[in-house]
Amino acid sequence: MRTATCAPFTGETANSGEHQTAQCQARVLYADTDGMGMVYHATYLRWFETGRAHYMRIRNMPYSQVEKSGLSLPVVEAHAEYLKPARYDDLLEIKTKVADVGRAQVRFEYVICCGGKELVRGYTRHAVVNPNGRPTRLPETLREALHGPPGAD
Amino acid sequence: MRTATCAPFTGETANSGEHQTAQCQARVLYADTDGMGMVYHATYLRWFETGRAHYMRIRNMPYSQVEKSGLSLPVVEAHAEYLKPARYDDLLEIKTKVADVGRAQVRFEYVICCGGKELVRGYTRHAVVNPNGRPTRLPETLREALHGPPGAD
Amino acid sequence: MRTATCAPFTGETANSGEHQTAQCQARVLYADTDGMGMVYHATYLRWFETGRAHYMRIRNMPYSQVEKSGLSLPVVEAHAEYLKPARYDDLLEIKTKVADVGRAQVRFEYVICCGGKELVRGYTRHAVVNPNGRPTRLPETLREALHGPPGAD
Amino acid sequence: MRTATCAPFTGETANSGEHQTAQCQARVLYADTDGMGMVYHATYLRWFETGRAHYMRIRNMPYSQVEKSGLSLPVVEAHAEYLKPARYDDLLEIKTKVADVGRAQVRFEYVICCGGKELVRGYTRHAVVNPNGRPTRLPETLREALHGPPGAD
């Protein structure tokens, strides 16, 4: 397992990084750990969701609002690389970035750090689905919110 | 913590026991354990659900069928007593019993054992709710299925 | 299901309440919900852990420190009453209180509210266990921290 | 999302398939679903663990035995593609294959199907770690068990 310092996303300039990232925290519970004494690997997907929800919320486009408009963004692909383990009571930094916004899909990237060290990297890819469960085009307002800086509120 | 052998439910005669109980198994995954090296206490509520679903299925009344009829049985109370810990890879016996079927609620009781030893006892109490989310009367067919012996198929 | 406003713990005076309670928040993720469109009942036990950990941390006695001293506080009983459902994206208030500190056990009580309405009430009872897994006496420093007000830091 | 029939692993001949695959089942609980009415995406990583544990158990090399020998196989990478959703009460087929056994790592592949349709494909990559948490060489007995056919018992 390679050790990495908790750098910004690869290839990200300071400016674009400010625009298209969000950062929040999570504290490791016993509920998150497993019998090896470290965080169970599937738990990180939950924190990816925490990061993604936070990213959208601070752009004044909480995911619950997307759903009220009749759309959903189901996960169609998920990936995680585990570099170092997190342990009970660790305070984690969850960094989320929108990596790609396509015609009918979105890709988020995540870095989870603790004490300045990268623990886990990953991404999720999401389809855009209408109320009938059919793939559909990403609405312009949602595209702009995903691409834009955090909101003013 | 008291140690108890994995006895039938208290006050249960052999005959009634056969009628109103169900037994199934679960293998402990790492996903179920926590950093103390034993099963996380909330995981047992999941196995209670496993037991409850199994109880209803073998009476030819799977919970999915109850839902198709428009009713749901949300948990309104849950209780668990933890006597001994389960550990990774343990093969658990989940014993489920219908303890009470009221006018508009049902109570299931559970005993989870391993190697003939009782690990956890508990119960869940369920309301009967119609499609508008209002408490409603338990239909007679469901009452009979809950009270009756496993089905023939 | 009865509806209740999010009152302080029963029988609690303003003063004692300030001393022996803690309050924190949790945002409902999709990970916490189930196919009925509301929070899965076992998820609340996780938030009880969140509340308990917060209660101890703000008294400068994080649970990880208890463990470093060689003791653990395994859950030996858990109880929850579900009054109203929480839904995706709800911002929950988790109120935690130490209800009883015995010679060798501790009991926490929890109320989870949203928008001023009580959703779930419950408690957990914990043994005090030494490194050999044997019940042991609660150390005086831990007893004082549990009984006392939040710390100064 | 493409629809695929539940074919054997790509490029797998009938013979090698028999040798290096395992199949088991899981029934979808409410605990596994989310408020979108389908299985929460992280739950599949749990079923990957179910498949992996089953694969090793039927080769008379349960993971708990690997641990007793002092080794562990932590997940260092996980990937999943979600083709179609699973829903409450679905009976899933979990197909597991050892895709690669390296000097100090193992890769498992998974296909989860329901009713003959592929729902999810994925893989996990595992390091081999000694009791000090250092990467170590895969023991020959474990290599043989992973490569071999199910055991006789």
From the list A31, A45, A50, the residue facing C49 with the nearest CB is: A31
3-state secondary structure of A25: strand
More confident site: D28 or C17: D28
Q: Check residue D109 and give its pLDDT.
A: 98
A76 at interface of D, judged by CB pairs closer than 8 A: yes
* Dihedral sign of CA atoms A20, A138, A142, C25 in order: negative
pLDDT of residue C20: 82
Closest by Cβ to C45, choosing from B45, B77, B135: B45
C80/B78 Cβ within 8 A = yes
Active-site residue among D34, D89, D90, D100? D34
Mean residue pLDDT across chain D: 89
What ipTM was predicted for this assembly? 0.90
Mean pLDDT score, D43-51 = 97
The gap between the terminal CA atoms of chain D, to the nearest Å, is 41
Mutate to test the interface with C, among B3, B77, B84 (most CBs of C within 10 A): B77
Tell me: the pLDDT tens digits for C131-152?
888 999 999 999 999 988 898 5
**Can you tell me the distance from the alpha carbon of B124 to that of B44, in angstroms, rounded to the nearest whole number?**
12
Confidence label for D72 from pLDDT (cuts 50, 70 and 90): very high
Q: pLDDT tens-digit profile of B52-71?
A: 999 999 999 999 999 999 99
pLDDT of residue D130 exceeding 50, the answer is yes
To the nearest whole Å, the CA of A13 is away from the closest chain C CA by: 31
Please name the chains neighbouring D, where neighbouring means 3+ C-beta pairs under 8 angstroms: A, B, C
Question: Could you tell me which residues are beta bridge partners of residue D137?
Answer: none
- If you search the block for the tokens 């049902």, which residue do you land on? B106
Give the count of Cβ contacts less than 8 A between chain B and D.
32
pLDDT, tens only, B6-35: 655 644 433 344 568 999 999 999 999 998
pLDDT tens digits for range A122-152:
999 999 999 898 999 999 999 999 988 898 5
Residue of A nearest to D1 (CA): A76
Q: Does A91 touch chain B (CB under 8 A)?
A: no
With residues binned 3-state (H G I as helix, E B as strand, rest as coil), the percentages for chain A, rounded to 5, are: 25, 35, 40
Query: Are B84 and B10 within 8 A, CB to CB?
Result: no
- Domains of chain D in sequence order: 14-147 (3.10.129.10)
With a CB cutoff of 8 Å and minimum separation 6, the contacts of C79 are B77, B78, B79, B80, C122, C123, C124
